Chain A
Amino acid sequence: MRLVVDIERLAVTVSQAIFDNRAKATVCDASMRSPKSRGIHKGNAMTTRKTILCDAADARIGVTLPGKQLARRGALRAVAIAGVAALLLGAAPFAARAAGPIKIGVLLPLSGNFAVLGQQALTGMKIYLDQVGNKAGDNPIELLVEDSQGKPDVAVTKARKLVQGEGAQVLTGVVSSGVALATNDYSRDNKVPLVLSADAGVTELTMPGPLANPYLVRTSQNGRAVGAVGADWAYKKGWRKVVTIGSDYAGGLDVDYAFGQEFCSLGGRVVQAEWSPIGTADFGPYLTNIDRTADAVIAFAPGADGLRLARQYSDFGLKGKLPVLDLFGTLVYEPNLPQLGDATLGMYSVLFYTPMLKTPENQSFVAEFKKRMHFMPANEGPNGYVGAEAIVDAVKAVNGDLSDTMKFMAALRAVKFDSPKGPISLDKYGQVIQPMYIRETEKVDGQTANVPIATYKSVDQFWPYTEAEYASFKYTYKDAKNAMTDCTRLLAKK
């Protein structure tokens, strides 16, 4: 195994080295080549070298320089560098000057375990952009897509490539929370607008605090709102004692904690909290241990875990005995439904979307998505669509002039439209305000589907609290493991 690790490390180092060289050679952004910086370079040697490199590269693509200037810099050296640059760059694209299409840099996992999520989000974006003819008003839109592999380090490298190398003016996509945190730092440090349009539900990203970023908006969701809405509905359903099974990672803690907190504040209680590691193959031990006297099971298990949990729940004879409320629709995930047969019938779930919504926006979206992906959209498809729509609307609002970043951010935060997910708007922190749907899995035309049975209109990130109320709680989801079954702790104030 050590060997394997070493080889992987070597491969990463080599590719990074190659890439770094390319990145260095491609940082010829507008400022580097602006007339001002073409002047005299007596300052720092590094800048001079970079500029020569840029100019040499420009020369290669046909930009002519005044002969005197070139001579002053040492023609030989420039030629040598041009040769090296040509070798390193190959056919690498150059940063365009301000004019031209609006370039949207898309960072999504297109290989590896999250590939299918990335592809859904990308499909959603493309459906919207095709619908508007790849134009925001009069400005053509160009999508620059990069594969983040779901890895934060790769994502930052790719973000740099997109922005500094290819001139992307907005970044969007993401999915993995780790990637979101890394990209958030990049966006804040470099003042690049970032639209989290796929998943990436880390609650604190859009709240005042160390992660707050004026260059960020999130049109997908956050973790806690779904949990809180689930709790409200569970209590109204008449459940008072519930068992939670949640994936054991920050996202799972966030969602389940929000559920527990809201459920307690209404008067219910979590009597047992189980945490399964991500990638749990066998849920047998957890299912065997479930307290059978509870009113319901509250589940959150994204990915293949959800598929297994749904099937094994039914295999262990729990289906029909203990009802399930699935936070985020992870067990009744649409692409999985056809494989689960009747195992999911009667399960309840809560999410900001269901393909069964009978709105014109959604029905045309679902038809197009099914045509392209051959399965029903779940969360990331509509998320990608909404993210693209938000960006296009904001570009239109600033008439295609993204040079004033803060003005563009203000335009982004002001977007408001009816989407496949329902009516969308953003709060002052850039977090989406959207409806939440309680769904029940039923047979529709012979196939299982998540039919909406209740709607919570415009749920914001602090729902049902005000920002001040939410901030007054003493503990956060990071204490979930000690607090889930303890209402006094969940509700403790500072």
Chain B
Amino acid sequence: MTWVIHILNGVAYGMLLFLIAAGLSLIYGLMKILNLTHGTFYLVGGYIGLTVMQTTGSFILALIASVLAMALLGAIIERFFLRRFHLDELPQTLLTFGFLFIFADLSLWIWGGNPLMLDEPEILQRSVPMGYYAYPVYRLFLIAVGLAVAGGLWWFQEKTRLGTMLRAGVDDAEIARALGINVSLLFTLVFAVGAALAALAGVLAGPVLSLYPGADFEVLILAFVVVIVGGLGSLRGALAGALLVGILDDFGKAFFPEFALFTVFVPMAVILVLRPTGLFGRR
């Protein structure tokens, strides 16, 4: 039974990591932007969810509000700032780095420095007994949401017209443009979706991981680890990387506690040595 719980734990944590990393990977895949503001979308999204939850008491409303707000913020950042430096890596990275600091200070100012925790929706505030143990229902819910988002993103990429355009844009943006695809609109859209995914992760992680100054940077690093393991720009890679990192982290902490600090980074180093492009990376 202990094993089942450890695996469930790892998968639940992995699903959170997937939600965080998927957006980063999508954005890089299409635009080759290393978006350092990604952790900001997560943290500010979570904070907005918290505020909405505290005023309305509804978890669903909190999710919707924060996802919409961050999608809008993402679109603005892409449209009015990043747009100016297309494919120019250094200014792009610096710009997103600057936004990271600006929003970190703004949220410290608005929400203060104490760690804050969202409440789970009431139906999920239970745990299911498992033999001698008990497992929180909310984590099972996280696994379900993660799978649903992964399925949804796959369907969007593979089965919709927009998804096809997206794949075309990833393969060769210039040819896609020549074929009449509005790549510039696609960029804004994908950036907004990436930010929205991070916000979703922020609200969903709120009841488990809590929100606090510095979480933006921690999450950013975790997301990098996941996409490096999985391969930059690949959704499949983000999912595989997230699950692998989540499970290894849990097992590492449980069975090799001396190495708890490295459980996330060792797999990354090993994979970088064996497959520098990550599990599903191209080239």
Task: Using CB atoms and an 8 Å cutoff, list the residues of chain A in contact with chain B.
Answer: 1, 3-4, 7, 111-113, 115-117, 119, 248, 274-277, 279-282, 284-286, 288-289, 292, 303-304, 307-308, 311-312, 315-318, 335-336, 339-341, 375, 481
Contact = CB atoms under 8 A, between A and B. Distances in A.
B117 A311 contact: yes
28 contacts: A4-B36, A4-B97, A7-B94, A113-B113, A115-B113, A117-B113, A248-B260, A275-B257, A277-B260, A280-B260, A282-B9, A282-B13, A282-B208, A284-B5, A284-B6, A285-B251, A285-B253, A286-B253, A288-B2, A289-B254, A304-B212, A308-B210, A312-B136, A315-B127, A316-B135, A317-B129, A335-B114, A341-B119
A304 B257 CA distance: 20
A317 B113 contact: no
B114 A336 contact: yes
A243 to B, nearest CB: 13
Interface string B109-140: 00011111101000000010100111110110
A292 B2 CA distance: 12
B158 interface: no
Q: Which of A7, A274, A281, A481 has the most CB of B within 10 A?
A: A281
A116 B113 CA distance: 5
A326 B116 CA distance: 20
Contacts of B249: 282, 285
A149 B187 CA distance: 38
Given A7-B97, A339-B117, A375-B114, A308 B208 contact: yes
A113 B218 CA distance: 12
Given A3-B93, A286-B254, A303 B260 contact: no
B209 A308 contact: yes
Contacts of A336: 114-115, 117
B25 to A, nearest CB: 16
Interface string B209-221: 1101111001000
Contact of B208 (A289, A312, A317, A339): A312
Nearest to B219: A281
A284 B134 contact: no
A281 B135 CA distance: 17
A279 to B, nearest CB: 6
B138 A315 contact: yes
Contacts of A117: 113
Nearest to A288: B5
Contacts, number: 116
Contacts of B132: 292
B90 interface: yes
B261 interface: yes
Contacts of B108: 111, 115
Contacts of B218: 279, 281
A285 B36 contact: no
Interface in B241-277: 249-251, 253-254, 257-258, 260-261
Given A284-B139, A307-B117, A336-B115, 4 more contacts: A248-B260, A285-B254, A286-B253, A307-B210
A340 B2 CA distance: 27
Contacts of A7: 94, 97
Contacts of B12: 284
A341 B125 CA distance: 12
Contact of A317 (B134, B139, B210, B251): B134
B90 A3 contact: yes
Contacts of A281: 13, 208-209, 218
A115 B213 contact: yes
Contacts of B134: 316-318
Nearest to B1: A288
B136 A304 contact: no
A275 B253 CA distance: 9
B224 interface: yes
Nearest to B90: A3
B163 interface: no
Nearest to B36: A4
Nearest to A113: B214
Contacts of B251: 285
Given A274-B257, A279-B218, A316-B135, A285 B117 contact: no
Interface string B14-30: 00000000000000000
A113 B113 CA distance: 7
Given A316-B134, A336-B115, A282 B209 contact: yes
Contacts of A292: 132
B208 A288 contact: no
Q: Which of A1, A288, A289, A316 has the most CB of B within 10 A?
A: A288
A276 B93 CA distance: 33
Contacts of B210: 304, 307-308, 311
A1 B224 contact: yes
Interface in B121-167: 127, 129, 132-136, 138-139
Contacts of A111: 105, 108
Nearest to A116: B113
Q: Which of B6, B93, B115, B132 has the most CB of A within 10 A?
A: B115
A284 B90 contact: no
A285 B214 contact: no
B242 to A, nearest CB: 13
Nearest to B100: A4
A275 to B, nearest CB: 6
A7 to B, nearest CB: 7
Contact of B114 (A116, A308, A481): A116
Contact of B136 (A116, A303, A316): A316
B128 to A, nearest CB: 9
Contact of B261 (A3, A277, A311): A277
Nearest to B108: A115
A312 B138 CA distance: 11
Given A286-B253, A308-B209, A311-B207, A317 B133 contact: yes
A119 B113 CA distance: 9
A174 to B, nearest CB: 17
A285 B7 CA distance: 10
Interface string B155-184: 000000000000000000000000000000
Contacts of A280: 253, 260
